[in-house]
Structure 1
Amino acid sequence: MDTCNGEDGTCYHDSSGGLQIRLNDYNLFLLGDYTEGTDVEGKVAAGGNITMNHFSVGHEMPDTNISNVLVAGGNLTLSNGGVWGEAWHGGSYSADQSVIYPRGSVAQGTPIDFAARGAELRNLSSQLASLPVNGTTTRESWGGLMLRGTDGHLNVFQVSASDFTGAKLLSIEAPAGSLAVLNIQGISATFAGFGQSFAGGIDQRGVLFNFGDATSINAQGYGFWGTVLAPYAHITFHNGSFDGGIYAQSLTGNAEGHVNPLQDHDLCELPGDNH
């Protein structure tokens, strides 16, 4: 896969043309509802209703970045917690006396065009799914799902959603600073009770789980180390965490969100290149 130097840094190109990957503005971004929410260190937005209890939002964001920390396109219902920044609700607002705003306030309005962003996310997911595979995926008999890429810039893996069922370990090996795209194929996926490891220098800021087809994702007692792009998926996620962003249709569950945003990447086509 060829490389070029773009205005925004290193970029890569293939026959699919130009593509920007910018999935680091929200810790959790949903097109629909967020239900049973708890602690999320970064920003949260949902185009539908948000319901959170015994929660905190945005406490790891710097004082210089407290706009749109909690945005509900619909109703916002809060109890027993705090919002470390500005909150918005497009519908009704309900909060008990224990809810605090240490460095912001709440107002009615919808500062995000969820329909437009949803179209962008679906388009991005589709284009990522069409990238040529250049990494190897091996499902070991003992339950290890082993991914290995050697490209210094972009490593693309094709993974069947069924490979995660009963897995014991997800191992991702790729060079430091590269982007690992896991194109996961299947209508539904289950993640439960297994760990994740890194090798070769890559970490969670370079890993993107792309669910191009999934409409249902169930996670229990699991930690996603990387950013999840699942624009069609309704996620049920209990007793776990996500170390990166989740961009999906909806989420129900008490999984905690930790700030470790995906690095920006550009996939581009060189002018006049017929590759």
Structure 2
Amino acid sequence: MLNAFSSRRTALMSAAALATLLAAAPALAANPPSADAGLQALRDYNLIVLGNMTSNSDVEGRALVGGNLSGSGTMFTSPHGQSTATLPGVVVGGNLSGNFNLNNSSGAWIGGNDTATVNLNGVQTVKVGGSVTHVPNLNGSTLQQGIGSTAALSGLPMSLADYATSLSTLSTTLAGLTTTQANPVSLVSNNLNINVTGGGTGLAVIDLNDSLLNGNQVSINTEGYDTVVINVFNTVNTADSYHFNPGTFSTNAQTKIIWNFVGATTLNVQGQFEGSILAPLATLTNNTQINGSVAVDNFTQGGEVHMLNYEGHVSVPEPAGWALMILGFGGVGGLLRRRRAPEAA
């Protein structure tokens, strides 16, 4: 009788231990820092180009270009409260060339040479690692040139290489998540409706065939969710041309949606786009406005990028973390079974 009681108590202890571990699961499954940094980058910047960018339009919020920035445009046109205290409006890892306006005291950090004609609107600080060909009219602004790339880019939350790694990790992590929605997509007469249901407030995940985006009017209801990840899987090749027609979006949906273009290497957006674009392997070309954060490899800009940055606050579960956690459960179960064995004898 004593042995039976002891065995039952041990079994209850096992259940209690497992319950404790399950309660701690969200913490154990948290993202690695690099993926979290990728999410934060989408909040911090309106535009991130890991490679080179050719501009023929404007960017409302902060822009980070890891390679060279050329062309013309106005940067930091309408930052909507983004502070310039810690991060400048424009960061260029390589060289700057062309003609640009830097508005709203944005400031600029340029790792290479500056051969552009730059108009500074508002008092700001411009740091240039190399030489400056055309010294702008400073009007009280500060210009530091020839200070080297390291000094010019000093103050970034992480290196340019780490930005690339974090965004790549984020895209891979999001692509590996299991969809949380059952049949969220309907297509009726070229009207693509995406309805997120379930009454949740955290993270919703949807998988989408890329062919559904081309030529259809897209309407999205994000319900009360903090973040809606739409993993766009390319079923034919890695080059896509999207004629995106925005329909009806729920309130502030653009700041909640991350379009994760999984594995895409070329994106041609031919219509107004709503929500953040995450495509760290892709060369993006657009000819109309994008309303959301943009993170791509290279960018040929023909339309404005508007300040509707990603504003979610979720912690995205990391599949590898869940796998390790499950293995941990198995180890705890085995240990408890071994502890019970002498009592059964």
Same fold (TM over 0.5): yes
The code of the aligned residue for 1:86 comes to G
Bigger CA drift: 76-85 or 226-235? 76-85
User: RMSD in angstroms over aligned alpha carbons?
Assistant: 2.8
- Which residue of the partner structure matches residue 3 of structure 2? none
CA distance in 2, matches of 1:273, 1:74: 42
Per-residue deviation, 1:178:
2.6
Are residue 33 (structure 1) and residue 81 (structure 2) matched? no
Aligned pair in 2 of structure 1 residues 41, 165: CA closer, same or farther (>3 Å)? Answer: same
**TM-score after normalising by structure 1:** 0.84
Q: What secondary structure sits across from 1:125 in the alignment?
A: helix
Q: What whole-Å deviation, never above 9, does each CA across 1:135-175 have from its counterpart, x for those lacking one?
A: 234352411222122141221111111211222x1121222
Aligned pair in 2 of structure 1 residues 134, 202: CA closer, same or farther (>3 Å)? Answer: farther
Aligned pair in 2 of structure 1 residues 226, 103: CA closer, same or farther (>3 Å)? Answer: farther
The code of the aligned residue for 2:221 comes to E
Q: What secondary structure sits across from 1:170 in the alignment?
A: strand
Per-residue deviation, 1:193:
5.2
- Which residue of the partner structure matches residue 203 of structure 2? 154
Please identify which structure carries the higher strand content. 1
- Which residue of the partner structure matches residue 216 of structure 1? 266
Per-residue deviation, 1:124:
0.7
Q: What secondary structure sits across from 2:179 in the alignment?
A: coil
Q: What secondary structure sits across from 2:58 in the alignment?
A: strand
Bigger CA drift: 49-58 or 254-263? 49-58
* Native 8 Å contact 2:203 2:316 kept in 1: no
Per-residue deviation, 1:177:
4.0
Choose the corresponding residue for 2:30, options 11, 18, 31: 18
Matches within 5 A, 1:1-275: 13=26, 17-19=29-31, 20=36, 21-22=39-40, 23-60=42-79, 62=81, 64-65=83-84, 67-79=87-99, 81-84=101-104, 85-96=106-117, 99-108=119-128, 109-111=152-154, 112=156, 113-135=159-181, 136-151=183-198, 152=200, 153-167=202-216, 169-186=217-234, 187-192=238-243, 194-199=245-250, 203-220=253-270, 222-238=271-287, 240-263=288-311, 264-268=313-317, 274=326
Aligned pair in 2 of structure 1 residues 29, 110: CA closer, same or farther (>3 Å)? Answer: same
The code of the aligned residue for 1:133 comes to T
**TM-score after normalising by structure 2:** 0.68
* Native 8 Å contact 2:46 2:294 kept in 1: yes
Q: What whole-Å deviation, never above 9, does each CA across 1:102-153 have from its counterpart, x for those lacking one?
A: 1313212234411111111111110100111122343524112221221412
CA distance in 2, matches of 1:54, 1:243: 17
Aligned pair in 2 of structure 1 residues 13, 52: CA closer, same or farther (>3 Å)? Answer: farther
Q: Radius of gyration: which is bigger?
A: 2
Count residues with an aligned counterpart: 259
CA distance in 1, matches of 2:267, 2:77: 25
Per-residue deviation, 1:244:
1.6
* Native 8 Å contact 1:209 1:228 kept in 2: yes
Bigger CA drift: 132-141 or 258-267? 132-141
Aligned pair in 2 of structure 1 residues 63, 188: CA closer, same or farther (>3 Å)? Answer: closer
The code of the aligned residue for 1:104 comes to Q
Q: Structure 2, unaligned stretches of length 5 or more?
A: 1-24, 129-151, 330-345
Please identify which structure carries the higher helix content. 2
Q: Structure 1, unaligned stretches of length 5 or more?
A: 1-11
- Of structures 1 and 2, the one with the larger relative CO (CA 8 A, separation 6+) is 1
